[in-house]
Structure 1
Amino acid sequence: MNVVLCPDSFKDALGANAAAHAMAEGVKRACAEASVHPCPLADGGEGSLEALISATGAERRELEVQDALGRARLASWGWLARERTAFIELAEASGLQHLSSAERSALHTSTFGVGELFQAALDAGAEKALLLLGGSATNDAGAGMLQALGATLTDREGNALAPGGAALAELETLDLSGLDPRLASLDVEAAVDVDNPLLGKCGASAVFGPQKGATPDDVATLDAALARFADVSAQALGGDLRELAGAGAAGGMGFAAASFLGATLKPGIEIIMRQANLPALIEQADLIITGEGRLDGQSLAGKTPIGVARAAKRLGKPVVVLAGSLGDGWQACFDEGVTAAFALADGPMSLDEALPRTAELLSARCEGVVRLWQGRLTASGG
């Protein structure tokens, strides 16, 4: 019996690696002779770098960079030497999780540290980079990243712009002549899990700014500033990608990645499944078990269990989803290839009670699923 275990993280409880380990323990209790293939995943958001390093055997490297507020922090990135590929997670440098609630300032946070990670990748000889865009604390449309890579952004008086999205309202000149020339031959893919444009009521500032500390007035300020950046960028580049689906991802970093790095924007789960060679594992599997903290109607937008289910459906393989909770509209997931879905709780319990028991509950559910699967095979003579 070949079982593939490909969970995402269970937020605030277990990382994807730990979740896969707990699942494997349950499978082995039910069927000691089962061939178990752990394959931790992520959808481009928090934990994606960890999943890629685990799945590919990439080397973890560390670099001191600026965080979103310009302070020094040690950021990790991945180096897959055999493919000359760098894994760069925006949140490692400019992530919201590194700021306290009081420090969140969408007007002033910067992606400068992401540019520093790109510089390290280029210095290592990278020919390809996978940029993971979830979890940002920033709303500067990648302007800080460009500054770190050698671009010059100045106001009407010729002064360099201050960090952050709000300062882009004063942008007069965007000089790209100093950009690192090695970027021209770097093949970049950016993992996104949203399709928002850069501007407007569905744009980066309006939709994601508030969670980064932006007030309604700040949102208006930022949207106008990013519009100015898009105008000046269009003049410098001769093209305008502000309406591109995903341009608004990570405070507009999708716009910068596509416009200035020539990046292709793709759903994060597709990129990570490909790097993890998951399609080949699915092809050999008898059963696939995946999961994450919550399964609901919004999971169809590109969350890990649905990406796995869609890939398995193409090969006619069964998929079971184990979730911390099942929310509104979760039944729509059956149409995407999910065979069955179960919540982890084994009785009435609060979230505070459930979180420390996540590994135990996940292992127990996997044991139950495999025992049921074996019973099905026995009944059918398989």
Structure 2
Amino acid sequence: MSLRFVLAPDSFKDSMTAKQVTNAMAAGITNVDPYARIDKVPMADGGEGTVDTLVDATHGKKINVTVDGPIPGQKVESFFGMLGDGKTAVIEMAKASGLELIPKNRRNPMVTTTLGTGELIRAALDFGAQKIIIGIGGSATVDGGAGMAMALGVRFMDENGKVIIPNGSSIGRISDISVAGLDHRISETEFVVASDVTNPLVGKNGAAPVFGPQKGANSSQVVQLDDNLRSYAHVIYDKLGVDVTNIPGSGAAGGVGAGLLVFTKAKLRPGIEIVEEAVGLEEKIKQADCVFTGEGSIDSQTKFGKVPFGVAKLGKKHHKPVFVETAHIGDGIGDLYDAGISTVIDILSGVTPMAEALERGPENIERTTENMIRIIKASSKL
């Protein structure tokens, strides 16, 4: 009797989308067992690929929108997803306010803004969204989500009552906040933030020290950004009565976590859990014989909300073997086996130039999966 497989990988960055990985895995299985029952469940963890994953899984659609980019004056072609229920929208912050939208030599969180993320939210509301899921990974900003809030009708003023256009630098001059113009639909909409980050807004583990350097901040700018966020948080508390300084996750995406908590009353949840629920992964795994997952690199960080770890936990819960395919095995993966991973397989057959490895990703996935299926088939006959 043919086995039933669930294929639930993440994307392999710069090489394959999650859908391409599942297709290559499926090809490897059918090379050995053309009658195998296969559930393709491309995954994401709230970051890149989340919109595509959820739109595909729910038979929804993508809506193209032109919004402000992270650099003032920049326009970018972006999108959000509307899921098959016609009520839930999915947004990837990186597609409007992301680091990927800025050349390396122009990255500077003192000047970048989350305005475009707010414009995506507004566009989703215009389209009738009653629930909005926001993946906040990959941002280029440290503005505390003030730019996003401005796009939704919040106004920030300096000590002279002059309106401030928020960015990493200017939020330190905010002395007053008005939410009188906040879009009334916000209070009628459920907001869920896909984030595994638990950093507070300020301090040594806050948004600026931890995430500022990767967004282009030098050491002096990190100090200034942290001071600005602290001042911003003080004004939020003074004017709105909400203390976001030390809330876990408020420092996510340069403080966007704080902005969403304050201005949309969002709930923060691990991205992998949101995706698992939307695609019905647990029920599929319960019915499977074997589970395949994977992503580009597996290491000690995988246990912090990455797709293979989330899939493995469900596999362990339902006593299913979970095989992980990857292009790079790093240090500290011992804990992953305790979490439910049966084995981790390197898809590269030898020392391979990076460009070639990226280009031949699907081929390597197909070959590796085929070999694993042959081993599984042979083992069942022992």
Q: Tell me which interval the TM-score lies in, with the shorter structure as reference length.
A: over 0.9
Matched, 1:367 2:374: no
Structure 2 matches for 1:187-336, cutoff 5 A? Answer: 187-336=190-339
Segments of 5+ residues of structure 1 without an aligned counterpart are none
Q: Residue in 1 aligned with 2:13?
A: 11
2:60 to 45, 49, 58: 58
Distance in 2, Cα, partners of 1:19 & 1:180: 40
Distance in 1, Cα, partners of 2:158 & 2:107: 25
Distance in 2, Cα, partners of 1:34 & 1:341: 22
RMSD: 1.2
Structure 2 matches for 1:15-30, cutoff 5 A? Answer: 15-30=17-32
Whether the 8 Å CA contact 2:51–2:81 is kept in 1: the answer is: yes
Whether the 8 Å CA contact 2:138–2:253 is kept in 1: the answer is: yes
2:184 to 181, 186, 206: 181
1:351-374 deviation line (CA, Å, top 9, x unaligned): 333222211111111111111111
- Counterpart code for 2:260: A
Q: Residue in 1 aligned with 2:151?
A: 148
Displacement of 1:56 after TM fit?
Answer: 1.7
Whether the 8 Å CA contact 2:111–2:169 is kept in 1: the answer is: yes
2:98 to 92, 95, 98: 95
- Counterpart code for 2:114: T
Segments of 5+ residues of structure 2 without an aligned counterpart are none
Displacement of 1:81 after TM fit?
Answer: 5.0
- Counterpart code for 2:332: G
Matched, 1:118 2:146: no
Query: Could you say what secondary structure the match of 2:311 adopts?
Result: helix
1:305-330 deviation line (CA, Å, top 9, x unaligned): 00110112111111000011110001
Identity of aligned residues (%): 39
Q: Residue in 2 aligned with 1:49?
A: 51
Distance in 2, Cα, partners of 1:337 & 1:241: 36
Distance in 2, Cα, partners of 1:219 & 1:185: 36
Whether the 8 Å CA contact 2:55–2:84 is kept in 1: the answer is: no
Query: Could you say what secondary structure the match of 1:199 adopts?
Result: coil
Query: Could you say what secondary structure the match of 2:82 adopts?
Result: strand
Q: Residue in 2 aligned with 1:346?
A: 349
Query: Could you say what secondary structure the match of 2:187 adopts?
Result: helix
Query: Could you say what secondary structure the match of 1:82 adopts?
Result: coil
Displacement of 1:83 after TM fit?
Answer: 4.9
Distance in 1, Cα, partners of 2:298 & 2:260: 30
Distance in 2, Cα, partners of 1:294 & 1:143: 34
1:213-241 deviation line (CA, Å, top 9, x unaligned): 10001101100111111111112322212
Q: Tell me the TM-score normalized by structure 2.
A: 0.97
Distance in 1, Cα, partners of 2:183 & 2:165: 21
Aligned length: 379
Displacement of 1:40 after TM fit?
Answer: 0.8
Q: Tell me the TM-score normalized by structure 1.
A: 0.97
- Counterpart code for 1:85: T
1:272-327 deviation line (CA, Å, top 9, x unaligned): 11111111111111111000011111111111100110112111111000011110
Whether the 8 Å CA contact 1:27–1:370 is kept in 2: the answer is: yes
Query: Could you say what secondary structure the match of 2:380 adopts?
Result: helix
Whether the 8 Å CA contact 1:194–1:301 is kept in 2: the answer is: no
Cα pair distance change 1:81/1:355, threshold 3 Å: closer
Query: Could you say what secondary structure the match of 2:129 adopts?
Result: coil
- Counterpart code for 2:351: P
